[in-house]
Structure 1
Amino acid sequence: MKLIYGTKNPAKLESMRRILKELPIEVVGLNELSVEIGEVEESGNSPLDNARLKAEAYYSVLKEPVFSCDSGLYIDGLDEERQPGVYARRVKGKTLSDDEMIKYYAGIAKEFGGKVTAQYKNAICLVMSNSKSYESMDEDISSERFILTDKPHPVRIKGFPLDSISIDENTGEYYMDIKNEETESDMIGKGFREFFAKVINKIEP
């Protein structure tokens, strides 16, 4: 089964390919298509709103099965009006670079004495046709709780800046020191695989 992943981010594309490698799914990114796809305004108030907006917009152009994901960052103890949510990269109307994100969220961790717990709540929407779509924002596709620290790791991964200030709550290690296919699978991969496995079972004759 060929599915288009509604992203132009190569890191996200490769991550999803690793997660779904055991399923009979070929994942194709927007940058690999010959069709020019414009940006979709992510005006939703939740990760699921934005995932749905993107998937429906891409399907309207491509007329092929396409899925989109979105996530929101939620920090324990932070006032509601300051919660990043779906605007983790946008602060006070400004879109932050990777380095600016690290500096900003390290600053929030510093407000809490150098570390604070947080979680990414993820959502996915898969549009198969004009009348059939599947979506989820269940806990099993959200990240485990983790620690944001005010002391950045020296290593950076383009497109995933906050991994440099994220620490595994159980081991106390930076994500940058333990991030590999196995830990990625443990955190959210199982939930995404189960989502797509259920879809496959539903559409098989």
Structure 2
Amino acid sequence: MELVFATNNTHKLEEVQAIVGDIFTIKSLADIGCSDDIPETGVTFEENAKQKTDYLFRKYSLDCFGDDSGLEIDALNKEPGVYSARYSGSRDMEKNIDLVLAKLGDNPSRTARFRTVISLFLNKQQHFFEGVIEGDIIPERRGAGGFGYDPIFIPQGYDRTFAEMTAEEKNQISHRAIAVGKLAAFLKEDNVD
């Protein structure tokens, strides 16, 4: 089975393909010749994920899935949330991390979570899958792996940031891994002949 993933983010593509293995083949937007900047104007992760799959299905009539993910920090009223990728007003993740750390300052309350919502459009039906990983924001960056806010996020029950973990370790516990695992189970159990 082939599905189009509404992204050209190579980190996301690699993570998802590693999680699903050979259950299905994932194509990127570039693989189908789509260079459009798909709108993300929703105020929830669900709305943004749905916008991506609706757009792709309307334009290409292909089975597809899209996700929206972000970091929610309790002390910042769940910011950056849906604005995680552009929190500082740009896509520069160093600036985004700097802004999070500046806003948190010395606040002792540092609980947070990464949340992913996947919208799947398959056989003209829409399905949603969610993954959440709880953790804490540390006051300084640690680790060279991962991407996004990984250097400042330590998942509950661990003493290392996502950026200090190997890709394999992160892929076993991450929010995206949880959501993609639900997606893969759904495809395997309910839709693959």
2:182 counterpart residue number? 194
Question: SS in structure 2 opposite 1:77?
Answer: helix
Q: Is the 8 A contact 2:3 2:24 kept in 1?
A: yes
1:136 aligns with 2:110: no
Aligned identity (percent) is 20
- Secondary structure (helix, strand or coil) at the match of 2:43 reads coil
1:9-88 matches, cutoff 5 A: 9-21=9-21, 23-33=22-32, 35-79=33-77, 83-88=79-84
Q: TM-score, normalised by structure 2?
A: 0.87
Deviations 1:25-81 (A, max 9, x none): 011111223x2331111111100100000111011122111100002321122246x
Among 108, 112, 118, the alignment partner of 1:124 is 118
Distance 2:180 2:143 in 1: 30
1:16 positional shift: 0.4
In structure 1, runs of 5+ residues without a counterpart are none
Structure 2 residues not aligned, in runs of 5+: none
- Work out whether residues 42 and 53 of structure 1, in 8 Å CA contact, stay in contact via their aligned partners in 2: yes
Q: Distance in 2 between matches of 1:125 and 1:145?
A: 21
Deviation of the 1:204 alpha carbon: 4.3
Say how many residue pairs are matched.
192
Of 119-128 and 172-181, deviating more is 172-181
Conserved? CA contact 1:150–1:165, under 8 Å: yes
Find the counterpart in structure 2 of residue 178 from structure 1: 165
Query: Given the superposition, is the C-alpha separation of residues 121 and 174 from structure 1 closer, same or farther in structure 2, using an over 3 Å criterion?
Result: closer
Q: Report the counterpart of residue 112 of structure 1 in structure 2.
A: 107
CA distance in 1, matches of 2:70, 2:143: 25
Contact 1:71 1:123 in 2 (8 A): yes
The 3-state SS of whatever aligns with 2:149 is helix
Distance 1:78 1:199, change over 3 A: same
Aligned CA distance change for structure 1 residues 169 and 190 (closer, same or farther; 3 Å): closer
Tell me how large the CA RMSD over aligned residues is.
Answer: 2.2
